[in-house]
Structures are given as structure tokens and as C-alpha cells.
A and B are shown apart, each in its own frame.
Chain A
Amino acid sequence: MQPFLTQLIDLTLIQMTNWRWAWRSGLIVSSFIPVYLIATFGVFASSDDRVGLSYLLTGSLILSLLLIGLSRVSEHFAFMRALGTLDYFATLPIARIAFILATLIAFVVLALPSTLVTLLLATLMLHVPLTIHPLVILVLPLICLALSGLGALIGLLGQNPDEVNNLSTLVSFVLFGFGPVIVPLERLPAFVQTLSLLSPATYAASGLRQVLLGQPDRIPLTLDVIVLSAFTVGFLWFVAHRLDWRGL
């Protein structure tokens, strides 16, 4: 049996090949929709409304991450189940957690270029100055991992790829719209403000605003990191228990 790190590297490389033939279209789609959103909503946003514009910028980034991190990961797990890919991996001497982590890391690597493209275009379009915090190196991958972990769980919960697709679309829209992601917290109904504390997207958006725009937030950056880490570990734990790929 290979050491854990060797397994992780091999499996990540294998999983990354999933878009070796389609990464251009993936990059375009996952960047186009958030940028289109900015272009549409940017028309209505006042250039004086700095808070609104910053939410629009970070919200569009979250949408980009939801599209790749959540929707595509859930789809990927659903298809791995449907096509018997899990059986192949289950017969290899590899650790289950190495396989799960490798799959998520591969999606993180895929998500980063489109996130950067979205960030670049959004900054140019909205004229919002960036103030990059060094912790961006930690926060951005952590957000990707948390959302991908949720995507993996959805991919294992649905009965078939169609059901998983519907479920992930629903969850993505709920996470995107049901919290201070693209709309500032104080402009949301009170019950949404409370419920949004249960959503990883809330902490992801808060963290992004702080590490990209240098804006103070009601939720401190440290808490964002802790909660996103907890979501990541929790989702990984559920995925590892749900991934029924070996018998005894």
C-alpha cells in the first residue's frame, strides 16, 4: 500500500483529468454566469453604494464557487456512483478519505482559475478597490472545500444523477439567496438573518469580503475560518460514512 500522501497525489491527478478535455468550457460557464449577474445587477446598483457593490462582487464569487464547488462535485459523485467508478477505486488499496479529499482538491484546483477570472472582471466592472489580506490563501480554498464537501454529500444522498442535479440546484439557490451573500444582512427579513447563520455561504461571503475588500464584518474573520473549517470537517465525516463502497 502506498503512503497516504502518494495516494492523495495520484488520486488528485486522476480526478483532475475529469476536465482535461472540458476545462475551457467549464471556465467560461462558471465565470460567465457570475459576470453576467454583475453586469445585470450592476446597472441598478449606485456607484455610491459601496456596501451594495462589495456584496455584489463577493456574491458573484460565491455563485461561481457554488457552480463548481457544489453543483459539479455533486454531479461528479452521482455519476461515479451510477457508472460504477466507485467500484474500481474500492478494489484498490487506498484510503477512503484519500479518495474523497483528492476529489475535492481536484475541484478546488478547478475552481480557482474561474474565481480569479470572475474577481478580475468584477473588479473592473464595479470599480471596487481590492485590499487583499494574506489569509486569502487559506480562506478561498477553505470555502471551496466546504462547498465541495456539501456537494459530495448531496451527490451521495440522491437516488440518481437527475435527482442529485435537482437537489444541488435547489441547495445552491437557497445558499445563494437565503443569507447575506449578495444582499447586505440588514436588507434581509429578520428570520432570514437568523436562519442564514446556519449556511456555510454566509461565512464564505463574510470571509471573502474581509480578505478581498478589507471590509470589517459582523462576523469576525477568525470565526468565519473556524465555522468553515467545522463545515468542511463535518461534511467530510458525513461523506466518508455515506460512501458505501466496500463491504466488510
Chain B
Amino acid sequence: MKLAYEIDHLMYRYPRQTTWASDDLSLTIAVGEVFGLLGDNGAGKSTLVKQMANLLTPTRGSIRLFGQPLNVNNSVQHIGYMPQTGMALNNLTVGEAFYFTAHLRGLSRPDARRERDRLLNLLELGSLRDRPILRLSGGQKRLVSLASTLVASPPVVILDEPTNDLDPQNRSRVWELLRAVNAERGTTLVIVTHNVLEAEKVVQRVGIMQCGRLAAVGRPGVLKGELNRHLRLEIIFASECPPELPTDAAVTVLAPGRWLLLIEREQAPLYLAILNQTLSIEDFRLSTATLEDLYLSMVH
């Protein structure tokens, strides 16, 4: 198996901070793999991917890209990086942003124009071609930023929360696009996301980060296997009258009046009986565990 990334005991601490933002991270990502990074805000996901994009120098440890130590030459040649924050080229039009990015990535002027048109078609942004990025909606800017990252088809693409600000239709389109980019070009994708349920359809392996460390790494199916003996129980109730559950119930509060529990399969009858007797229950759903449950069970 050829490796795109080999990360070895990576440590990173921001200046004037006492805690490690990356704390002894070791990880490999295969060429052509779609790797998802999950974790709460501040878990260290963005810090990790910034080091992988060579935008931060690790305090300790090492990163190898395609077998070579990560450096300026191989990072700018092989990596496309979409930051979490907005689009950089706000004063350019959409077409100009694609064209200049393609040209600066080494394409000839005619090829850069062709690449611009390809991306405008790919993300159905043709109608926005001559519009300044500054005047686009948040979701449109996100799509433009994603397309800019894919310019000239770098073999490794790192996306920091690519579906933020997108409506459900565009989110679905982005996931489909990423799946296609990976399948057709063999692009290695590293995706930081909070959309765990949507990511589950695309990522081949996930890393769950917590406090700068990788709490778990593996295929979603295998990781979820550990939860297979559990069921997810989502309860919706009048928030002023919470149900009385067994004292050992591990409750995740999703919102006022909305709880999520992971329960043992054999406990299901007990919980159903409680719910049937509780008048304040408005709705409940019992199902097998998802990647989101795994994520929630690990980070909370």
C-alpha cells in the first residue's frame, strides 16, 4: 500500500500556550484514501491539517508526504488546501479566481482558461462567473473556495469543513463531487467536518480527535462495530418535564427537550416501558448506532 501521509509523533504548541494543540499524533493515510477528521471545536483538527498542508511547523515529530519529508516544494506541488475561513480572493470575480489560481499552479494561459471553465461547469457556477466573490452569499463563497482548491487537480486535497454554510442541496452536491473526484482521479482527500452523518457516506476511514489527540482511528464500520451491541435512543419531550431514566443512563443533551442515549440492546424493553409511562414524551426514535453516535460517545 502506497502512503500519501506518514505522520509520526506529531506535537504542536501555539506560542504562549501551555497545552498541546497536537499531542503525540501518529497516523498514516493511503494514496487515494478519503480520510475524515471529526472532533469538537478546539479539538485540534485544523491545527493538524494546517501542519499537513505545511502552513505550520510541528514543534516535534515529522510528516512525510509520498515518502518524502514534507517541505515547501512537495507541499505546494501536491497539496490543495481549503481553509476553514472565507475565500481569500474576495475582490476577484469567480472566473478570475479560478483562472489566476490555475495559472499560478503552473498551467499555461489557455489551459488555465479551460480549467476555469471546467470548474465553473463542475460546480454549476457558470452564472456567477463575472460576479465579484465579495458579493456572493456565504454558501456560494464556500463553493468557490472548494473549486479553487480543486484547481489543477492536486493529488492531495485537504478540506477544512467544506460544507459549512451550505444548504442541504449544495451539501449533497459537494459530497457527490468529492466522491467523484476521489473515484475518477484517485485524489487523496482529508476532510475535516462536523457533518458526521453526511461524511459517513463518503469517508473510508475516520480519525476522531479530542484535546489534540486521536481518540480513535479506523473504518467507520469497524469503529461502529464496537457500538453494535448498543442502540441509539433519541427522546423528544416537553423540556420542563424531563423523563426519569435509570441513574446509569448516559444522556447527551442535543437541545432543550431533546436527549440522545446509547443503550444496551437488552435494556430496550425497560426504556420503552419508561417512555410509554411518561406523559411528557412527544416522540422517540430507536435505531442502530451511527458514526455520529460513535463520535458523540467518544468526545462526550
Q: Which A residues are closer than 8 A to B by beta carbons?
A: 1-2, 6-7, 10-11, 13-14, 17-21, 83-85, 87-94, 245-248
A248→B79 contact, CB < 8 A: no
- Contact status B134-A88, CB under 8 Å: no
| CB pair B104 A2 closer than 8 Å | yes
A248 touches B70 (CB 8 A): yes
CB atoms of B83 and A88 under 8 A apart: yes
- Chain B neighbourhood of A246, CB < 8 A: 54-55, 72, 75
Q: Are B104 and A248 in contact (CB under 8 A)?
A: no
Which residues of A are found within 8 Å of B79, using beta-carbon distances? 91
Whether B83 contacts A84 by the Cβ 8 Å rule is: yes
Give the size range of B's interface with the partner: 35 or more
Given that A17-B96, A83-B88 are known contacts, is A248 also in contact with B54, CB under 8 Å in the complex? Answer: yes
Assembled-state Cα–Cα distance A247/B105 (Å): 19
Per-residue 0/1 for B86-112: is the Cβ within 8 Å of any A Cβ (1 yes, 0 no)?
Answer: 101101100010001101111000000
Min C-beta distance of A193 to chain B, whole Å: 41
Q: Does B71 contact A (CB under 8 A)?
A: yes
Q: Most B CB atoms within 10 A — which of A90, A246, A247?
A: A247
A7 near B88: Cβ-Cβ < 8 Å: no
User: In the complex, which residues of chain B have a beta carbon less than 8 angstroms from the beta carbon of A10?
Assistant: 100, 103-104
Instruction: Give CA–CA (A14, B89) in the complex, Å.
Output: 8
Given A21-B132, A248-B71, output 14 extra A-B contacts at Cβ < 8 Å.
Answer: A11-B104, A13-B100, A17-B96, A83-B85, A83-B86, A84-B86, A87-B53, A89-B88, A90-B55, A91-B55, A91-B80, A93-B104, A245-B55, A247-B56
- Closest chain A residue, CB of each to CB of B84: A84
Residues of B with C-beta under 8 A to A19: 91
Contacts of A247 in B (CB 8 A): 51, 54-58, 70, 75
Smallest Cβ distance from A2 to chain B, in angstroms? Answer: 6
Q: List 27 A-B contacts (CB under 8 A).
A: A1-B76, A6-B103, A7-B104, A11-B104, A14-B92, A17-B92, A21-B91, A21-B134, A83-B85, A84-B84, A84-B85, A84-B86, A87-B53, A87-B55, A89-B88, A91-B79, A91-B80, A91-B81, A92-B105, A93-B105, A93-B106, A245-B55, A246-B55, A247-B54, A248-B57, A248-B70, A248-B75
B218 part of interface (Cβ distance < 8 Å): no
Contact A94 B104 (CB under 8 A): yes
Question: Does B121 sit at the interface, judged by CB under 8 A?
Answer: no
Residue from the list A17, A18, A87, A91 in contact with B75, Cβ < 8 A: A91
Shortest Cβ distance from residue A218 to the other chain B in the assembled complex, whole angstroms: 43
The residue in chain A whose Cβ has the minimal distance to the Cβ of B58 is A247
Taking CB atoms, residues of chain B closer than 8 Å to A85 are: 88-89
B19 interfacial by beta-carbon distance below 8 Å? no
Is B69 engaged at the interface, CB distance under 8 Å to the other chain? yes
Kindly report which residue of chain A lies nearest to residue B104, judged by CB atoms. A92
